[in-house]
Structure 1
Amino acid sequence: MRHLSLLIKLWLYAHLGIAQVMDISGIVKDANTGEALPGAHVLVPSSFSKSNITNEKGYFFLKNLREGDTLIVTFIGYQERIFLASESRDSITILLQPGNVKLKEVMVKSAVLGAENFSFSKLTPIDIYQNPNSKADALVAVNTSASSTTTDENAAVSFRGASPNQTGYFLNGVPIKNPIKYAQLTNTGTLSIFNTDFLKKVTVFPGNPPLEYGQSTSGTIVLETADRFPSYWQQTASISLANLGYSARGEIGKQTFVGVFANYQFDEALKAVNPINFENINAFNSLDGGLLLSSHQKWGSLKFYQYGLWDNYNFQYRHPSYQNAFLQEAVRSISTLQWVQELNDWQINAVLGNSYLDKKISFGNLNFSEKDFDPYGALNFTWRKDNNLLKTGYSFWHQNNFREGRFPTYSYAMSPEHPSNQFSGEQSASSHELYTFYRKIWRNHSIGSGVRLGYLPELQKRLYSYQINYRYELSSSLKVKAGVGRYYQIRNTERAIDYAYQSSIDLHYSGPQWAIEQSFYYNFRQEKEQTKGAESRITYQPNSKIQLDQSLSYVSHNTRKDQWFIRSFAIYKPFSQWSLNASYQSFAGGNSALVSSASFNNELSVYAPFQSGKTLSFQPYSNLSLGINHLFAINGYTNGIAFISVTNLLDTKNSFDINYNFDYSQYDKMYLSRRSIYAGIIINLINKK
C-alpha cells in the first residue's frame, strides 16, 4: 500500500503540472544511534546528475528539484528510504534503519555520565576530523576550545590558566597520565596516544569536573572508545606525508564486534616538503596499534581495549656547554576492561585497567630511564528514577614509578665529560577512594552535590573533595549553570598532594543559526595562586554551507602575567563534497629569563651564568592556517577523503624561548611551528555481507 500511494502521488504531480522548483538540504543519520552517515547516496531517478553523496557529517544538498521528484536514500548495511520532494522541508533529517534489525533484542549499554549540571562539551570523531587545526587528533582538537590555555602547540591540555599536569584524562573510565607521543609533526607539538577512528566521543569538562573522575585539580577529559561497529566489515587505509595506517572493524558474532588498527609514523617525506620547519629534527618515527573488542549480551556489555606504542624522537639541541642530538624513546601499553549491566533502575559499571610506560632520555651527561606501572580498578553504581540520579562507587589506584640514570651536577655543564650524579630510586602511592553524588530535577531547576573521600596508606593521609552544582533552564534555548567545589590530586613522583577550589557560572544559548556561550570562573590553589577569567564563544551557521566560530578568553593571575586568547574558525562548503576551512589563533606572548653575566669555570672549562632577574617578553602568538577536504566515492563500497593543509600560512616567527651561545654574550630566539604543508588521503572499503 505504501508504494501504491507513492505511485498515485507521482502520477498526480506529473499530470496536474503543479511542480515547483526547489533546493533541498539535510542530514542522514543512523536511526538507532543518531550518528551521521557519511558516504550515503541520495539518488534522484529522474535526473541522476542531481544525485549526491553525504559529506563527512552526513549532510547533502540537492539543487533544482521539482516538487514530486522521487528521492531514494541508500547506505550499505541499512534499509533504503523512498520519499517525495514535496514531503520535505528546506532542511530535513533522514533516519535509516540498520538492515539487520533482528539484533536489537539486546540493548548496547554504556556507562551513565549524568553530567547535565556540569559545564561540558562533546566531540565526536567527525568533529575532530573537521577541526582545521586538530591534525585528526582528539586532544589537539580540545586545545582549540575557548577554555584551553595551552601556549606551546602541545597536545597536553591546559584549562583556564592551570598547568597541563593538573588536567585529568580518563579512557573508558581508567585514568591515564602523560597521554602524548614523542614523535612530532611540528617543532614542538606532540600528538596524543588516542586513535580518533576508534573513539565514540570525547567529553570535556573545563572546570568543576564530576567527582566520579578524581585526581584532577583543573579540567577533565573523558574519552570513550566505540561500543559497537556496523554489522558489515569496514577497512580503512590512510597515507600522508608522515603516516601510514590501516584499520579493520566489524561484527564477528551476535552483538560482538572487533576492531584493530596500526599506524607507522615517519619523517622523510614531511621533512623533504618542509625543510625549514624541520631543520632541527634529525628523525622521528613511531609504531602503534590497538585492539578493541566489545560484546553486548543479556549478562551485560563488555568492552576490552588494548593499546601499544613504540616512540622515538631525535632532534638537534644547542646548549651553551654542548651541542648534539637529544634522544627520546618510549614504549607504552594501556589496557582497559569495562563491564556495564542494567538492573531495573540500577546500572552497575565495573572497570579494570593498567597503564605502563618505559621511557629513556639521553643528551650529553644526561642519561636516564623511567618506568611507570599504574594498575586501576573501580566499581560504580548508578540509580535513576523519574528526576532523581544517584551515583556512588569505589576505586583503587596504585601508582609505581622507578627512575635510574645520570643527571648533570651543574645545569650549565652538560657535555659528556662534565660531572654527573648517579640516581636510582622507586616511589609508589596507593589510593582508596569513595564517592557519592546525587542530583534532583524539579521543574526547570536541577541541583546536585557530592563528596569524594580518599585514603593513602603509604602516607597515612585522608583526603576529601566536595562539589555543589545548579542548573536553571530559563527556556529550551537558554540555560544557566553554576558550580563550586574543592578538589585534590596526588602527584606520585613527588608524593605531593595538590588542592584547588573552583567556582564558575556558565550561560548557554542555542538558536536555529546561533549558539552563544559565556563563562566566568574563579580558581584558587594551595600555592596561593589565584586565577579568574572569562570565556566567550559565538557559533553562527546560517546554512549547511557556512559555519563560523569565534572565541575570546581572558585569564588574570595574581602571580604571573595575564593571558588572553583569540580563536577564529570558518568552514565553507562550496560543493557537497568539498570543504574549505580557515583558522586564526592568537594569544599573549610568553617571556624568558635573561642572563646578566657569566664567569668562566676553569675546572670545568665552561661558563656559569648569572640570572639578572629581568625577562624578555615575546610578541603575541599568531597563526593563520588553511585547509581543503574532498570527500569522494569510487563506488557503493568504496569512499574516502583527501586533504591538504597549510599551517602558519604567513610563516610567523612565534618565539617561545631563547638559546645562548657558549659564553652567554648572545642569544637566538627559538620558534614554534613555521609554515608547513601537510597532505594525505584516507580510503574506506565496505565489505557487504
Structure 2
Amino acid sequence: MRYKNLNRYVLFLAVLIISNVCRSQQHEVNGYVYDFNGKPLSEVIVYVKNNLNFITITDSIGFFKLSVNEQVFQSDTLVFSFMGYNTFSLPVRKSVEYNVINLKKSDILMQEVVVFRSKSMAGDFSTSSLKQLQIYTNPTSQADPLNAIQSLPISTNTLESATPMLRGSSGKLSRVFLNGVPVYYPTKGQQQNNTITSSSAFSTSLIKEEEIYASNPPIYYGNVSGGVIDMKLNNKLQNNKTLFLSMIGGGVAASLPFSKTRDDNFVDSYFNYTNLTPLKLVNNSMSNVNLYTSYDAGFHAQFKINQSVLSLYSSFSQEKGNYKSSVYSYNGEYKSNNLFNNNIINYNFPFGQNIIETNLSFSYLNNLMNYGNLDLDKKYYFIYGSMAYSRIFSNEIQIKLGWNVEYVDLNVDGTVPLYYYSYFPGTPSELLNLNSSFNKSEFFFFLKKRYRNFTSSIGTRLTYNKGKKLYFNYQLNLKYLSDNQRNKFLFSIGKYYSNDFMNEFYTYPVQNSFQCTFEYTYFTPRLQIQSALYKKHEEGYLDINYSSENRVDKQIWGAELMVRFQLSKNVSFQLSNLFLDSKIVNNNNEYRSYDDLNYFIKSLFSYDHPKNFSINVNFFLRPGTYYTPVINSVLNEDIDVYRPEYSNMMNQAQYNNYCTLNLNISKGFKNKLFSYSIFCSLNNILNRKNQSQVYYNKDYTTIFYDYFTPRILFIGCTIHFK
C-alpha cells in the first residue's frame, strides 16, 4: 500500500509530459553576423522580440540558425544583441537567408541581457562553471566532471576523490544533479583516495557543462543544505563518433541525428570499460588496489517539437573492487560489487513568457560489500518527481514556483561487527535485517527583481518529511553589476534543511546549514579576479567517525582569492589560495575540524595551440589534515582484540603537508577520415608520500600510514571519426 500514492504521482507526471507534446509547421531563418571590419562575431544573441522562446546564438564563424513557427512571421522582429555593440533589428522574413548582418560598436556597453529559458540563473548566485572542453583538458580530472572541480578554489576536498566538498561543507550536505534532477549515486570507487579509481558516474561526452554552487545554492534545488553541482546534458547534436583508448580501458561515444535538417533532435550514447590492471603493471604502484573493473553504458535522447523539449536519459554501471584497507587495528581486503541504474525524463513546455518544467526519475542501487566480519547486501530504490512554473513579466521581474517529491525504499541484509573496533574474521558479529522507506515533499517560491545595475532575489522552500515537522528554508540574494560589466558584487544569505538518504544508520536524519557569502569578481578579457568571504554553520551527522548518538555542529569561516591571467591567445595562468577556519562542536566542547586549513594554494598553467600541442600543469599545496590519535588500548579477553581509547582532545594530531605537481600533455592530428589526439598525464611528479590515513598494529603500540596516489604515468588516445 505504501506505493499507492507514489504511483499516482508518477502517473500524474507522466501524463503531463506526454499530453503536451504536439506538432506545428516550422520555418528556419539563418545567416551570418560580422562587425564592420568583416570579422565574424561569435556568441551574438539572436532572438524573436516578442517571444523569447525563439532564441539562439552565433557560432565561431558568426553563423546562426533559428527555427520558428508560423505565427512568428505575422508581425515579429528578429533582434541581434551583443555586448559592446548596438542592438540591431530586422523583420522576420519567411524562407529568407540573412546573408550578412553588420553590427556597429556602441559607445556604451550594453546592460546584462536577461534570457529566461530554463531554471538556470547561475549568474545571480555564487557559482562557477566548467565547459566540456575544460573538463577534458584538466590535468587532474582524467576527463571526469567531478574530479575537475578539485582544481577550482571553491573546492576544499582534502581527499583525492570525486566526492564534492565545497567551501568547507561536508560531502554529505552537497548534492549532484543532472539536468536539474538529483543523482543518488554520483561517484564510483568511493573506497579509494585517488582520482583514477574514484570518478563520477557520468560520461563527459554527454555533458555540455556543469554549474557549481559552492555556497547559498538556488532555493529551487530540493533537499540541499550544502552546495550543488548541476550537470547540463547536451542540447545540440555534437556530431560525435569517438573511440577512446587508455591504460585503464577504453570506450566509445556516438551522436546521431533524428533529422537531417535539425540539430536539436538527436541521441547521444556511450559505452566505457575500465580495468586498472595495465596501469598497475606499468607503474608498479597502487599496491592498495588488488582489482578494479567497471562497465558503463547509457544514452541521452532529445526531441524538440515546436518549442517544447523532451529529454530522455538512462545509464547503467557496474563496478567491482578489491582493495587493501585498514580500520582500527585490522588490515584486510575490502570487496565491493555495486550496480547502479539511473533513468531521467525532462519535459519543458514554454508558451509566451511562461515555461512549465516537469521531471521524473527512477534509480536503483545494489551495494554488496565484504570486509572481515562485515558482510552486507544493500538495495536502494529511489523515485523523484518535480514540477515548476516560471514566468518573466518584464526584464525586471521573474518568478519561479514549484513542487518536488522524493521517495526511497531500502532493504539491508547481512552481518555487522558486534564490537565496533573488531573487524577480524571469526570475531562476533550480529545479523542485520532492515526494511525501511522514507518520503518527503517540498514546495518553493522564487522571485527575482532587477533595478538598473542591481538584481535582488528572494526564495522560500517548505520541506515536509512524513512523520516529522515542517521545515522552513529561506534565501536572499543581492547582486550589483557595473555598467561596463567588469565588476560584480554578490551578497547571499540563507537557511537550508535536508535529509541524508545514504546515512549509514538508516535513519534519514535531518541536516541543516546557515550560509552567508560575499563575493567580488573583476573581469576583463586578459585578467579575472575572484574573491569571496563566507560563513557557514552546519549541523548533522557530518562524519562517519562519530556515533549515531552525537550530532555535530560545524562552524566555518572562509576566505578565497583567485587571479587568472590570459598572457596571450594560447597561454593562461591561474593562482588561488584559500583560508578555512573550521571548528566542530561535539557534546558542548569545541575542537578544530579535520579540515582546518591556514592555506590551500592551487596553481594552473595552460598552453593550448591547436596546430602544435597543449600542456597543462597544476600544483596543490596545503597543510596536512587533522585526526584523533589513539593514546591507549584495553584488551577484550573474550575475543582477544584490543579496544582503542582515543584522546579527549579531538583532532589533536596532524598529517604531514600535502603537495602534488601534475602534468598533462596532448597533441592533435587530422586527416580526411578522422582526427585523433594523444595525451600523457603524469600525476604526483615529485612522487611525494602524502599521508592519507592512519592505522595501528594489534595492540595500538605502533602507528602506520596509508598514502595518497604515488607518481603515476597515464597514457591514452582519442579518435574522432568524421
TM-score, with normalisation over the residues of structure 2?
0.78
Structure 2 Cα separation of the partners of residues 267 and 110 of structure 1? 43
Say if 1:36 and 1:673 are closer, same or farther in 2 by CA, change over 3 A: farther
* Aligned position for 1:234: 240
Structure 2 Cα separation of the partners of residues 430 and 407 of structure 1? 27
Letter aligned with residue 568 of structure 1: S
* Aligned position for 1:143: 150
* Aligned position for 1:597: 632
Structure 2 Cα separation of the partners of residues 265 and 123 of structure 1? 24
For these two proteins, the number of residue pairs brought into alignment is 594
Q: Deviations over 1:360-382 (max 9, x none)?
A: 11011100011111101111111
How far apart are residue 648 of structure 1 and its match?
A: 0.4
Structure 2 Cα separation of the partners of residues 477 and 590 of structure 1? 37
How far apart are residue 288 of structure 1 and its match?
A: 0.6
Q: Does structure 1 retain, via aligned residues, the 8 Å contact 2:372–2:424?
A: yes
Structure 2 Cα separation of the partners of residues 669 and 609 of structure 1? 17
* Aligned position for 2:231: 223
SS in 1 for 2:628: strand
Structure 2 Cα separation of the partners of residues 329 and 30 of structure 1? 49
Say if 1:184 and 1:326 are closer, same or farther in 2 by CA, change over 3 A: closer
* Aligned position for 2:582: 557
Letter aligned with residue 354 of structure 2: W
How far apart are residue 591 of structure 1 and its match?
A: 2.5
Structure 2 Cα separation of the partners of residues 140 and 589 of structure 1? 20
How far apart are residue 401 of structure 1 and its match?
A: 2.2
Q: Deviations over 1:24-53 (max 9, x none)?
A: 99998899555669xxxxxxxxxxxxxxxx
SS in 2 for 1:371: strand
Matched, 1:677 2:686: no
Say if 1:286 and 1:34 are closer, same or farther in 2 by CA, change over 3 A: farther
How far apart are residue 538 of structure 1 and its match?
A: 0.5
Matching residue within 661, 677, 690 for 1:624: 661
Q: Which runs of structure 2 are paired with 1:362-511 in the superposition (5 Å)?
A: 362-384=370-392, 385-457=394-466, 459-475=467-483, 476-492=485-501, 493-511=506-524
* Aligned position for 2:317: 309
Letter aligned with residue 626 of structure 1: L
How far apart are residue 616 of structure 1 and its match?
A: 2.8
Q: Which runs of structure 2 are paired with 1:166-181 in the superposition (5 Å)?
A: 166-181=173-188
Letter aligned with residue 196 of structure 1: T
Matched, 1:570 2:611: no
Matching residue within 244, 247, 260 for 2:253: 247
Q: Does structure 2 retain, via aligned residues, the 8 Å contact 1:110–1:301?
A: no
Q: Does structure 1 retain, via aligned residues, the 8 Å contact 2:222–2:404?
A: no
How far apart are residue 555 of structure 1 and its match?
A: 1.1
How far apart are residue 182 of structure 1 and its match?
A: 2.0
Matched, 1:535 2:560: yes
Matching residue within 315, 339, 348 for 1:340: 348
Q: Does structure 1 retain, via aligned residues, the 8 Å contact 2:517–2:533?
A: yes
Q: Deviations over 1:449-508 (max 9, x none)?
A: 111112122x24211111110111123110111111111111233231111111111111
Say if 1:398 and 1:114 are closer, same or farther in 2 by CA, change over 3 A: same
Unpaired segments ≥5 residues, structure 1: 1-23, 38-78, 83-107
Structure 2 Cα separation of the partners of residues 114 and 414 of structure 1? 49
Structure 2 Cα separation of the partners of residues 335 and 349 of structure 1? 17
Q: Deviations over 1:112-146 (max 9, x none)?
A: 31233211122111011121111111111112211
Say if 1:25 and 1:627 are closer, same or farther in 2 by CA, change over 3 A: farther
Structure 1 Cα separation of the partners of residues 233 and 58 of structure 2? 17
Structure 2 Cα separation of the partners of residues 665 and 34 of structure 1? 67
Structure 2 Cα separation of the partners of residues 574 and 224 of structure 1? 27
Matched, 1:357 2:370: no
Say if 1:28 and 1:391 are closer, same or farther in 2 by CA, change over 3 A: closer
Q: Does structure 1 retain, via aligned residues, the 8 Å contact 2:185–2:201?
A: no
Q: Which runs of structure 2 are paired with 1:145-164 in the superposition (5 Å)?
A: 145-164=152-171
How far apart are residue 595 of structure 1 and its match?
A: 2.2
Say if 1:322 and 1:521 are closer, same or farther in 2 by CA, change over 3 A: closer
Matching residue within 601, 611, 615 for 2:646: 611
Structure 1 Cα separation of the partners of residues 327 and 226 of structure 2? 34
Say if 1:25 and 1:652 are closer, same or farther in 2 by CA, change over 3 A: farther
Structure 2 Cα separation of the partners of residues 151 and 524 of structure 1? 20
CA-based RMSD:
2.7
Structure 2 Cα separation of the partners of residues 386 and 477 of structure 1? 21
SS in 1 for 2:426: coil
Q: Which runs of structure 2 are paired with 1:202-217 in the superposition (5 Å)?
A: 202-217=210-225
Letter aligned with residue 333 of structure 1: N
Letter aligned with residue 601 of structure 1: N
Q: Does structure 1 retain, via aligned residues, the 8 Å contact 2:254–2:269?
A: yes
Q: Which runs of structure 2 are paired with 1:281-320 in the superposition (5 Å)?
A: 281-298=289-306, 300-318=308-326
Letter aligned with residue 217 of structure 2: P
Letter aligned with residue 316 of structure 1: K
Matched, 1:522 2:535: yes
Task: Indicate the larger mover: 525-534 or 662-671.
Answer: 525-534
* Aligned position for 2:525: 512
Structure 1 Cα separation of the partners of residues 455 and 313 of structure 2? 35
* Aligned position for 1:61: none
Structure 1 Cα separation of the partners of residues 178 and 161 of structure 2? 19
Q: Does structure 2 retain, via aligned residues, the 8 Å contact 1:183–1:286?
A: no
SS in 1 for 2:409: strand
Q: Percent identity?
A: 26
How far apart are residue 260 of structure 1 and its match?
A: 1.1
TM-score, with normalisation over the residues of structure 1?
0.82
Q: Does structure 2 retain, via aligned residues, the 8 Å contact 1:469–1:481?
A: yes
SS in 2 for 1:502: strand
Say if 1:153 and 1:322 are closer, same or farther in 2 by CA, change over 3 A: closer
Matching residue within 644, 667, 680 for 2:703: 667
* Aligned position for 1:10: none
Say if 1:539 and 1:282 are closer, same or farther in 2 by CA, change over 3 A: same
Say if 1:345 and 1:587 are closer, same or farther in 2 by CA, change over 3 A: same
Structure 2 Cα separation of the partners of residues 455 and 272 of structure 1? 53
Q: Does structure 1 retain, via aligned residues, the 8 Å contact 2:146–2:164?
A: yes
* Aligned position for 2:27: none
Letter aligned with residue 244 of structure 1: G
How far apart are residue 558 of structure 1 and its match?
A: 3.1
* Aligned position for 2:546: none
Say if 1:29 and 1:528 are closer, same or farther in 2 by CA, change over 3 A: closer
Matched, 1:585 2:620: yes
Q: Does structure 2 retain, via aligned residues, the 8 Å contact 1:114–1:389?
A: no
SS in 2 for 1:306: strand
Structure 2 Cα separation of the partners of residues 320 and 487 of structure 1? 35
Q: Does structure 1 retain, via aligned residues, the 8 Å contact 2:610–2:668?
A: no
Task: Indicate the larger mover: 24-33 or 641-650.
Answer: 24-33
Say if 1:517 and 1:681 are closer, same or farther in 2 by CA, change over 3 A: same
Say if 1:267 and 1:33 are closer, same or farther in 2 by CA, change over 3 A: farther
Q: Does structure 1 retain, via aligned residues, the 8 Å contact 2:535–2:556?
A: yes
Q: Does structure 2 retain, via aligned residues, the 8 Å contact 1:435–1:452?
A: yes
Q: Deviations over 1:225-265 (max 9, x none)?
A: 112315xx531000000021001112023652112100000
How far apart are residue 660 of structure 1 and its match?
A: 1.1
Letter aligned with residue 532 of structure 1: W
